[in-house]
Chain A
Amino acid sequence: MNFPVLKGAAYALIQANDMVVHQGSTQTSEVRLNPDSEHLKEIHKHLRSFEDCVAYPPNQAYIGNIRPKDLNGIARPWYENPLKDATRDGKHGEMMPLDEFYGLMKAVDAFDLVLLEESFQNRVQERLLAHPAVKGWKMLEKLNKNHAQQPQLDELVAGHKAEPMYFEGKLIGCVKKAHDFDAALSEHVMFENLVSKASAAFCLQLLFSKTGITPSDVEYIIECSEEACGDMNQRGGGNFAKSIGEVCGCLNATGSDTRSFCAGPAHALVEASALVQAGIYKNVVVVAGGASAKLGLNAKDHVKKGLPVLEDCLGAFAVHIGENDGVSPVIRTDIVGRHTIGSGASPQAVMQAIVANPLDNAGVKLKDIDTFSVEMQNPEITEPAGAGDVPKANYKMIAALGVMRGDFEKADLNNVVERIAMPGFAPTQGHIPSGVPFLAHCKELMGEGKLNRAMIVGKGSLFLGRLTNLFDGVSFIVEKNSGVISGGGVDKDAVRAMIAEAMQGFAASLRAE
């Protein structure tokens, strides 16, 4: 069987200190409920410089300059042990400062909702026109016109007609509401959607600049962030995917949006793999941008405990799934795990459904999987907030499941965790850490012969949408390519099956005689 392959993946981080303060939901909730709080006074003292954010070891793992397991050799806390000579440019991606990103938000805005102050706009235009990945965007022309003057910005924001854009504490722009009273097109929603679109488009462009695919190769785009775009008649009508592809010049592509909270990317990758394997499209890209609301989600705990605000980055990724090239890792579409409506919501039931069941169905043992990419949240972010080390908890659950099934001895539990685990390195942007951050590393490690099989796991908390208490989860296996590509006609397995069937029929006819 010819499986689809993982052709490439790219990653982006955008450091967004001012968004943490002005758009992060923890902070905006605090402004609403407790405007004089200590947290709002203190948070500014805990924001990092862009340079510190770049040198932060987990961020360097996310953009591919170090491997996730390299973090084991760096003493915690990682924020006190920055990487020397770290650069914003990564092997698999890039980190961008907020001023440049505001320029991208204006560039990708199709309805003239983003206004930037004149001198700020001129400055970021210059920088973006020199940026190696995005300098060719036709949409950068938008930065030539419609400059705003400071009084205009002040008035729009003060009149609640626009969401403010601050840079280093100064109001330098805004996103206007797209309708007088439609809540789905409010300044707040438009801001979040443009953040998501701009960061996704930037990352898709990085995929083009860092891997072999060109925009015209892409036939289908699946966008899998956690935002919704539409108006009051269809709040989640879509289509982020096409709007992102348009920015990057994917003229031959169509696309659509897939949602399932943090499990969205895993669903999207299974869908992309199926579309390629079925021969419907040759090249499918799965893409997602970042979420401004989640910036500084645990900032209260970080500030209270004297840490920097570590959730200061928007995350984005883009993954290319293509036809078998005999080299890139294959996606084993015959071993797909799914949490069904009837699976049950206990952690044990979830792990059984998404990890154990697909392996059992395929006759593969847990010990045959070299590593698991689970929810790869950076533990340095979650531990101070009382949420523990999320990837480690998942690895323990997988090992414990193996013990219960008789795959491993209970005494071996810690050794199994040690073997299959890698430290979390992704920002806590919901869908961003969920399985996907490992894919570029996975491809590289398989290419080097250091990894044979990895399970990618995505899990989602559907109760947050208040429509169901069901949980969600999807998994799939990425495997080193055997190098054999089945021909266009009938493959060997199919021929064997046909011969066996013919022999059975012949034997049956003899018996009948």
Chain B
Amino acid sequence: MDLENQARIKDLCDKYGNENLIVVLGGAEAEASGLAAETVSAGDPTFAGPLAGVPLGLKAYHMLELKDEIDPAVYEEQIAMMEMVLDVDAIRQEVETYRN
């Protein structure tokens, strides 16, 4: 995950408390989404960014997992096309791993 985003997430945790935050991902690939979910829960596995060795314990969800929470018209306009394109099951499976 981008080092700057890691810093921003860490700052938000300091400001609002980890228990009040979830992370919503929009990555196109299962592996990259899983890596991001891992970074915000267990810490940066590449040990490159501000979250190296910092297990925030945040729960991450991919946008496609939140379909039921979104206004159908907005979903249709913004996301429906990508739902056809992406491997939704693989992404869900990968991201879920780091919530449990």
- The interface residues of chain B lying within 8 Å CB-to-CB of A351 are 81
Which residue of the partner chain, among B29, B35, B78, B85, contacts A400 with CB atoms under 8 Å? B85
Residue from A34, A346, A393, A413 in contact with B79 in the complex, judged by beta carbons closer than 8 Å: A346
Write the nearest CB–CB distance from B28 to chain A, whole angstroms. Answer: 6
Which residues of chain A come closer than 8 Å to B85, judged between CB atoms? Answer: 393, 396-397, 400
Do the beta carbons of A393 and B48 come within 8 Å of each other?
Answer: no
CA distance A386 to B27 in the complex (A): 10
A33 and B81 contacting across the interface, CB-CB below 8 Å: no
- Whether B81 and A404, one on each chain, are in contact in the complex, defined by CB atoms closer than 8 angstroms, is yes
Looking at chain B, what size class is its interface with the partner chain? 10 to 19
- Chain A residues with Cβ below 8 Å from B35 are 386
A400 CA to B28 CA, complexed, in Å? 15
| A401 engages B29 (CB within 8 Å) | no
In the complex, residue of chain A having the shortest beta-carbon distance to the beta carbon of B47 = A34
Residue numbers in B under 8 Å from A387 (CB-CB): 29, 32
Verify if B84 is at the interface (C-beta below 8 Å from A). Answer: yes
Interface: B14 (CB within 8 A) = no
**Mask: chain B, 56-80; 1 = CB below 8 Å from A; 0 = not:** 0000000000000000000001111
Q: Which residues of B contact A397 (CB under 8 A)?
A: 81-82, 85
Beta-carbon nearest neighbor of B77 in chain A: A348
Cα(A393)–Cα(B86), bound, Å: 8
Given contacts A346-B79, A348-B77, A348-B79, is CB(A386)–CB(B32) below 8 Å? yes
Asked if B31 is at the interface of the complex by the 8 Å CB criterion, the answer is yes
Which residues on A sit within 8 Å (CB–CB) of B48?
Answer: 33-34
- Nearest residue (CB) in A for B84 is A400
* Beta-carbon contact of B29 and A348 below 8 Å: no
A347 within 8 A of partner (CB): yes
Write the nearest CB–CB distance from B51 to chain A, whole angstroms: 14
Inter-subunit contact A347/B32 (CB<8 Å) = no
**Does A349 sit within 8 A of B, measured CB to CB?**
yes
Q: Give the residues in chain B near A410, CB-CB below 8 Å.
A: 84
| B84 pairs with A413, CB closer than 8 A | yes
Is A347 a contact of B81 with CB atoms below 8 Å?
yes
Contact A348 B82 (CB under 8 A): yes
Q: A33 — which chain B residues lie within 8 A by C-beta?
A: 48
What is the CB-to-nearest-CB distance from B66 to chain A, in angstroms, rounded to a whole number? Answer: 14
Q: Give residues 13-49 of B contacting A (CB, 8 Å).
A: 28-29, 31-32, 35, 48
- A388 on the B face (CB < 8 A): yes
**Interface positions of A from 400 to 420, Cβ below 8 Å from B:** 400-401, 403-404, 410, 413
List chain B residues, Cβ under 8 A from A403. Answer: 84
Asked whether, in the complex, the Cβ of B81 is within 8 Å of the Cβ of A348, the reply is: yes
Bound-state Cα–Cα, A410 to B84, Å? 9
- List the A side residues contacting B29 at CB < 8 Å: 386-388
- Cβ-closest chain B residue relative to A345: B78
Specify which of B80, B84, B85 lies most central, judged by the most chain A CB atoms within 10 Å of its CB: B85
Q: Which residues of B contact A344 (CB under 8 A)?
A: 78
**How far does the Cβ of B64 sit from chain A's closest Cβ, in whole Å?**
12
Give the size of the chain A interface in residues (CB under 8 angstroms).
20
The answer to whether B81 and A401 have CB atoms under 8 Å apart is yes
Contacting pair A347 B82 (CB below 8 A): yes
Q: Find the A residue at minimum CB distance from B78.
A: A346
Interchain CA distance A349-B82 in the complex, whole Å: 11
C-alpha gap A136/B84 in the complex (Å): 54
User: Contact string, A345-357, partner B, CB cutoff 8 A, digits 1/0?
Assistant: 0111101000000
Residue among A34, A386, A397 with max Cβ neighbours from chain B (10 Å): A386
Q: Which residues of the partner chain B approach A348 to less than 8 Å between Cβ atoms?
A: 77-82
A346 / chain B contacts, CB cutoff of 8 Å = 78-79, 82
A396 to B35, CA, bound (A): 24
CB-CB under 8 A from A413, the residues of chain B are 84
Q: Contact check, B80 vs A393: say whether CB atoms are below 8 A apart.
A: no
With A400-B84, A403-B84, A413-B84: A393-B28 Cβ-Cβ less than 8 Å: yes
Bits for A363-397, please: 1 = Cβ < 8 Å to B, else 0. Answer: 00000000000000000000000111000010011
Contacts of A347 in B (CB 8 A): 81-82
Among residues of B, the one whose C-beta sits closest to the C-beta of A385 is B32
Flag if B31 contacts A386 (CB, 8 Å): yes
CB distance from A359 to the nearest CB of B (A): 16
Alpha-carbon gap, A388 to B79, bound state (A): 19
In contact, A349 and B84 (Cβ under 8 angstroms): no
Given contacts A348-B82, A386-B32, A400-B82, 16 further A-B contacts (CB under 8 A): A346-B78, A347-B81, A348-B80, A348-B81, A386-B35, A387-B29, A388-B29, A393-B28, A397-B81, A400-B84, A400-B85, A401-B81, A404-B80, A404-B81, A404-B84, A413-B84
19 contacts between A and B (CB under 8 A): A33-B48, A344-B78, A346-B78, A347-B82, A348-B78, A348-B79, A349-B77, A349-B78, A386-B32, A387-B32, A388-B29, A396-B84, A396-B85, A397-B82, A401-B81, A403-B84, A404-B80, A404-B84, A410-B84
The 6 closest A-B pairs by CB, nearest first: A400-B84, A386-B32, A348-B81, A396-B85, A386-B31, A346-B78
